[in-house]
Structure 1
Amino acid sequence: MVPLQGSGDSLSGRMLGVELRRLREQRGYTLADAARVIRASTSKVSRLERGQNPVKYRDLNDLAVFYGVSREERAHLDQLHQQVGNEDLIQRFNDVTPAFFKRLIGLERAAQQITVFEPRVVPGLLQTEEYARALVRLIEIDRSERDIELLVRLRLERQLMLDGESPRLAALIYEKALYQAYGPGSMMAEQMRHLRAVAKVDKVTVRILPKRLIPLPTPIFHLTFPDGQHQELAYVEHANSANYITQKAELDRTRKQLLTMHDAVYGREDSVTALEHAIDYWDRVTAEEQPG
């Protein structure tokens, strides 16, 4: 989808305002109620709902949480906000995004090809909302629920770059990661179904490394770029940091490591079969978790 660029009173801005007003009135809240949530005046909320002022993403998030919107309603609000084009992705999440992750986002959006090997979790670019939320809560133990929700939205909006022509994504995932529980069986089954769906998309390659093999101990990312002085780089991502690899010798070694993993993964059909086995497993876990 091509974003509708413009000021706060653009078509998308007015549509976003209309949606916010509809949600507020549907829940029986007043302008004063909404104003308290975003720490603003009632006149400001009124201008937001008329599309006369741009909506900051943090305000949008706070109002969506306050109104208790559904997943579908939230996706629609995020889409409208993205189309308004008032704030860059990094700017919208600036106060909850560590510096190393801002660099990753900028690099990913400029890349032509992203290859990632992940030994413990589903790669961030392929995570479902509930799976991402579970991981953020596990990693960001000192964050407020408000910040956790913003970080989840960042992960989901980061995935939108895959809707364009580039970058392409190749995800190599260790099979044991498919069985690592980060939440209830239903959540894990949903994540596996999502992986199976994207594994059939031409632009995204999902391959599974058999669990009988010994994987690399840390996730590795390799990015190539269409032009410029430096056409590739790699980085090793940790829970709260990332090491960038730009020296030729290290890049060569990292590329060889990824090629070794790539040569050992299942082919397309067998990878889908591995995902189907994981779905069956988590469906059984879900059934066992049901009361009675």
Structure 2
Amino acid sequence: MDIDRSSGCAELTSIRGTTNIGQVPTVLRRMLGSRLQQLRKGRGLTQEDVAKGTWATASTISRIESGTVGLDSRSVVELLRFYGVTDTDEHDKYLSLVQLGNRPGWWHRDSDSLPKGFELLNLESAARTIRCYEPAVVPELLQTAEYARAALRLRYPDRPDAEIDRLLTVRLRRQEILDRADPPYVWMVVEESALRRPIGGATVWRDQLHRLQQVIRPENIVMQIVGDAACGPAVIGSAFLYLRFHERRLPDVVCVSQPTSTLYLESREDIERYLQIGDMLAAEAARPSETAARLESLMAGSEDRTELA
């Protein structure tokens, strides 16, 4: 994939045109394998150690963790018990992935046993490229803790504080990928109207704008702002997140968030369409070199509103 970072537009010349999506391991397998790998490492075990104590060989454990083979429910439970996970509710979170594992496109409802954000925490950690379009709020990977809490409270007005805290913890953990030694390339297209919304109040909003001024400096984080005249929400009515992975056998994924669920798309036709939309919005947006000045203008406006308040 070749990206012209000076203009912010991407020439995604191929969407793995020779790949049959039905023949590659599903992203759900990658998510499950990644989580099992975390459990193994948390116990200080090598793949050889697991092989000695279970039915699997070391090479099988390696393939499980990379998502290149599937697992049945019985095998997952055995591995979980070997790693010291005995709680049946915890088992259900992993088994949900097994049950969905053969579907090329799937819904995850917020009420399912998997916690909200569990999927993205695993998917984003494996991504080498992340593209995002956001019409309503600051993209989640760039939110401050206070802004994120306010946004979560707006989205889930009936959830108890403890649940909001848990969702916030997951969201902030997702942001850790931006600080790692090999961060993904992140390209975000955001509506200017989203940046003008004082979510959380004027002070939280101003701090959030300041945070954006800081994080867009690294070479791997690019943000473009779409002006009102570009009519981005008329082109596509909801936010979406596109992920491309280090593991090339895994399909690209588009995540579309809805009020009560998230849709994950893996088919080549869906991926190509969303990338076309992303390129079109980026072409209509201000150039990345203009983002700093636009944020400075928004900061000035936020200070004025704080004084009026």
TM-score normalized with structure 1 length: 0.64
Q: How much has 1:191 moved relative to structure 2?
A: 0.5
Distance between the aligned counterparts of 1:97 and 1:133, measured in 2? 22
Question: Match of 2:117?
Answer: 101
Percent of pairs with identical residues: 26
**In 2 relative to 1, CA 180–246 (structure 1 residues): closer, same or farther, beyond 3 Å?**
same
**In 2 relative to 1, CA 100–138 (structure 1 residues): closer, same or farther, beyond 3 Å?**
closer
Q: Secondary structure at the match of 2:228?
A: coil
Q: Secondary structure at the match of 1:212?
A: helix
Question: Match of 1:112?
Answer: 128
**In 2 relative to 1, CA 154–100 (structure 1 residues): closer, same or farther, beyond 3 Å?**
closer
In the alignment, is the contact (CA less than 8 A) between 1:96 and 1:147 conserved in 2? no
- Give the aligned residue type for 1:214: C
> After the TM superposition, which segments of 4 or more aligned residues of structure 1 sit over 6 Å from their partners?
5-8, 94-97
Unaligned runs of 5+ in 1: 9-85
Distance between the aligned counterparts of 1:118 and 1:97, measured in 2? 27
Tell whether 2:145 aligns with 1:129: yes
**Structure 1 counterpart of 2:213, from 163, 179, 196:** 196
Q: How much has 1:166 moved relative to structure 2?
A: 2.9
- Give the aligned residue type for 1:192: L
**Structure 2 counterpart of 1:153, from 164, 169, 172:** 169
In the alignment, is the contact (CA less than 8 A) between 2:121 and 2:173 conserved in 1? no
Question: Match of 1:243?
Answer: 263
**Structure 2 counterpart of 1:261, from 281, 296, 299:** 281
Higher relative contact order (Cα pairs below 8 Å, separated by 6+ residues): 2
Q: How much has 1:96 moved relative to structure 2?
A: 10
The CA deviation string for residues 128-161 of structure 1, in whole angstroms up to 9 with x for no partner, is 1110010111112222212212222221121011
Alignment RMSD, CA only?
2.6
Q: Secondary structure at the match of 1:121?
A: coil
Q: Which has the higher helix share?
A: 1
**In 2 relative to 1, CA 7–226 (structure 1 residues): closer, same or farther, beyond 3 Å?**
closer
Tell whether 2:224 aligns with 1:224: no
Q: Secondary structure at the match of 1:112?
A: strand
Distance between the aligned counterparts of 1:130 and 1:230, measured in 2? 35
In the alignment, is the contact (CA less than 8 A) between 2:230 and 2:285 conserved in 1? no
In the alignment, is the contact (CA less than 8 A) between 2:137 and 2:194 conserved in 1? yes
The CA deviation string for residues 243-274 of structure 1, in whole angstroms up to 9 with x for no partner, is 11111111111110001111122122311111
Unaligned runs of 5+ in 2: 1-40, 45-83, 94-110
In the alignment, is the contact (CA less than 8 A) between 2:117 and 2:170 conserved in 1? no
Distance between the aligned counterparts of 2:163 and 2:255, measured in 1? 26
In the alignment, is the contact (CA less than 8 A) between 1:112 and 1:225 conserved in 2? yes
Figure out how many residues of one structure are paired with residues of the other and give that number.
204
> Bigger shift: 127-136 or 149-158?
149-158
In the alignment, is the contact (CA less than 8 A) between 1:195 and 1:206 conserved in 2? no
In the alignment, is the contact (CA less than 8 A) between 1:120 and 1:174 conserved in 2? yes
**In 2 relative to 1, CA 222–284 (structure 1 residues): closer, same or farther, beyond 3 Å?**
same
Distance between the aligned counterparts of 1:240 and 1:201, measured in 2? 34
The CA deviation string for residues 11-53 of structure 1, in whole angstroms up to 9 with x for no partner, is xxxxxxxxxxxxxxxxxxxxxxxxxxxxxxxxxxxxxxxxxxx
Distance between the aligned counterparts of 2:265 and 2:160, measured in 1? 33
**Structure 1 counterpart of 2:201, from 163, 184, 195:** 184
Question: Match of 1:212?
Answer: 229
Q: Secondary structure at the match of 2:217?
A: coil
Question: Match of 1:44?
Answer: none
TM-score normalized with structure 2 length: 0.61
> Bigger shift: 94-103 or 220-229?
94-103
In the alignment, is the contact (CA less than 8 A) between 1:134 and 1:182 conserved in 2? yes
Question: Match of 2:188?
Answer: 171
Question: Match of 2:75?
Answer: none
